[in-house]
Structure 1
């Protein structure tokens, strides 16, 4: 793998002014990748500071190898928890699937780790790296309109940001998306909501639960219409729990303070270990899980607007690929721009990016809905058949389709084995005309 410090920058005449709207994971990933490729990058973010109070993220090898490639600070890896085991439980507690050497098998298969991180730790590490590379951030700037004729983004405060390319990285409620389609384009409810919980080890007095947190593993509990996932953060000093349940938030409400009692009543009869953790929860928020229909195109006709991350493929969190695929998007787009020799190549490069990323992003979205189906089965014949598949392979090497895609021998390699750097290298070789056409034309003119 080529180190980013050793990658060649684009020639002066091909350097773009890139304006990124949104400083979430996809936006900062794109900022890092484009800056490493030699382009000038500005990021517009409506938040006044990047100090988001977030929860946990599961960073799978398809993204962790990018964090290594970008040389993020050692402090990030110091704040990680690498789960040694992955277990799927029937909601009442019995084990359905178990990988007792998950960390070792993941590193052996993909040459990159699976780590659990606090979102704030990852965002701050990315932010610091982007600043080191000269990326300029404009915080507290909410965009009001986009002038596609002149490639200008204007903020509510009246500031204008002009560039050669606008990158829409402004997430689920993307204003760039609305500017592109020319109308309101609000996300749609999926029918589920999430309770997100983070407990520190100091909050937990039960010695058995403390030990559970301090020895990082991933546990799923799957049941009728709902499931839960728990994993450690910050080297076993925090525990992250996400409860995925049917949505009962009012229409138009995307987040609301929740009732701890209501939450606990949803899990009566579930595994006592899960309920012991829930006994330590003192307050909780409810998050409506939303999505969008597939966009026809991720690049506008003028070839000066391109979409990445949740602005074009928001997904259910059931495979933990929202963050990971967003990092992939930013890496691929920035790396492709690193092969520019002429600004006139930009339309072809953007469409190559779209060709590389759109089908994968949308396929992952569809796969998350399939995982919801397999994890949320109501008790009955279909659920019994699913559990038989689980139990028939318990303690054995998995073969064929498997109800948990986290260890499925068909889905896991497709997700975790994706290498954005190699994808770009291969695409450049297979599409020489995109990168050579304008350069050749200029050389011919000089000869004539």
Structure 2
């Protein structure tokens, strides 16, 4: 058995877990990933990779693989759900890339996971165990002992990248995820007329909004409709149609877009407050396990990738010790907290009724493209404390 001090165990092989493993391997750690699913198939549809996350993935030499399936949209166009009128445009594309030194991409979650998985499988320092949930973990003074149905091992640190329903969060005394009052309805449709869109469209309406952008090299269109939902039903279930009430009175263009979908997946959005503990002893949480957030700033995946960078940097600097995990938590909480709260605030802003929505729209128009782009600098301009070379 290799030295426990250079061995890291990760629970979960989603975006957070795979990215963390790749970064740790670059720093010379030996990594074992334990994934409960027997095969990897990322749920959901699209994901937006903003420049703050793109810098981390670029440090892993993944740009070429990402660009094979991702799209770099030229702008976000915000529209009225009532009449399809343009409210505001936020530059992306070359303008944002020049400003931030990194691109903005949109990509299918399965394609992103496939890129990360390919890199993981190419690394001699990473072992991936599928169909291997961690059944038991016990922390001693110098290591964590793990047991699955087929494997018993030890590691210097155990990282919980096991998502919004994280078992490791419960183990360190964290809270259960709770309903946010929002539900996402997701679907993918073929690109219309075979043409690839080059922008992100966002329609705002009372108690609902719709986001649409290209994925899979422009062959598919990702559509997400988010509705205010005060039920506490957190079960995910397939549906053949959207609920009618939140989409009454929408413009014809948007109704035509929504009608293109043959089926939808209902995804109740549950959150985890970032105020709760992320670390305890030799266990640390990353991504949704630590701070699942609403998608209104499109930063859930990006924050997970940032977490991976900061946790790996802390472990590389201080070793696989509790002090390194404390450093990670101390660095990350002040970063994640305002993003998490801004996503909650925008859930209210996006879904305003009239006349409040008219004031919102006027304020967005008055800001103009350049100032709207600049307002994202605190998020998009983030850089990791360190990245592997």
TM-score by length of 1: 0.80
Q: State the 1:387 CA deviation.
A: 1.8
- Residue 409 (structure 1) aligned with residue 374 (structure 2): yes
SS class of match (1:194): strand
Residue 250 of structure 2 corresponds to 270
Aligned counterpart for 2:136 among listed residues 125, 142, 145? 145
- Residue 378 (structure 1) aligned with residue 353 (structure 2): yes
Aligned counterpart for 1:364 among listed residues 339, 357, 376? 339
Is residue 273–residue 292 contact of structure 2 (8 Å, CA) maintained in 1? no
Q: State the 1:365 CA deviation.
A: 0.9
Aligned counterpart for 2:85 among listed residues 85, 94, 101? 94
Residue 432 of structure 1 corresponds to none
SS class of match (1:215): coil
Q: Cα distance 1:53–1:385, how it changes in 2: closer, same or farther (>3 A)?
A: closer
- Structure 1 outlier segments of 4+, above 6 Å: none
Residue 63 of structure 1 corresponds to 53
Q: State the 1:187 CA deviation.
A: 1.1
Is residue 170–residue 176 contact of structure 1 (8 Å, CA) maintained in 2? yes
Is residue 207–residue 246 contact of structure 2 (8 Å, CA) maintained in 1? no
- Residue 291 (structure 1) aligned with residue 271 (structure 2): yes
Residue 31 of structure 2 corresponds to 41
Once residues 35 and 56 of structure 1 are traced to their aligned partners in structure 2, the CA distance between those partners, rounded to angstroms, is: 27
Structure 2, unpaired ranges of 5+: none
Alpha-carbon RMSD across the aligned residues, in angstroms, is 2.1
Residue 300 of structure 2 corresponds to 322
Once residues 14 and 413 of structure 1 are traced to their aligned partners in structure 2, the CA distance between those partners, rounded to angstroms, is: 40
Residue 225 of structure 2 corresponds to 243
Is residue 57–residue 63 contact of structure 2 (8 Å, CA) maintained in 1? no
Once residues 282 and 151 of structure 1 are traced to their aligned partners in structure 2, the CA distance between those partners, rounded to angstroms, is: 47
Once residues 183 and 239 of structure 2 are traced to their aligned partners in structure 1, the CA distance between those partners, rounded to angstroms, is: 11
Once residues 26 and 294 of structure 2 are traced to their aligned partners in structure 1, the CA distance between those partners, rounded to angstroms, is: 31
Encode CA deviations 1:233-279: one digit per residue, 9 max, x unaligned: 12221100100002265x4533012241x435532322322211222
- Residue 337 (structure 1) aligned with residue 318 (structure 2): no
- Residue 309 (structure 1) aligned with residue 283 (structure 2): no
Residue 4 of structure 1 corresponds to none
Q: State the 1:78 CA deviation.
A: 1.1
SS class of match (1:62): helix
Q: Cα distance 1:173–1:350, how it changes in 2: closer, same or farther (>3 A)?
A: same
User: How many residues get paired?
Assistant: 382
Is residue 295–residue 312 contact of structure 1 (8 Å, CA) maintained in 2? no
Q: State the 1:53 CA deviation.
A: 4.7
Q: State the 1:362 CA deviation.
A: 2.1
Once residues 138 and 5 of structure 2 are traced to their aligned partners in structure 1, the CA distance between those partners, rounded to angstroms, is: 21
Is residue 169–residue 307 contact of structure 1 (8 Å, CA) maintained in 2? yes
Is residue 216–residue 235 contact of structure 1 (8 Å, CA) maintained in 2? no
Encode CA deviations 1:142-161: one digit per residue, 9 max, x unaligned: 22232123512223x26323
Residue 233 of structure 1 corresponds to 215
Aligned counterpart for 2:73 among listed residues 75, 79, 83? 83
Is residue 222–residue 375 contact of structure 1 (8 Å, CA) maintained in 2? yes
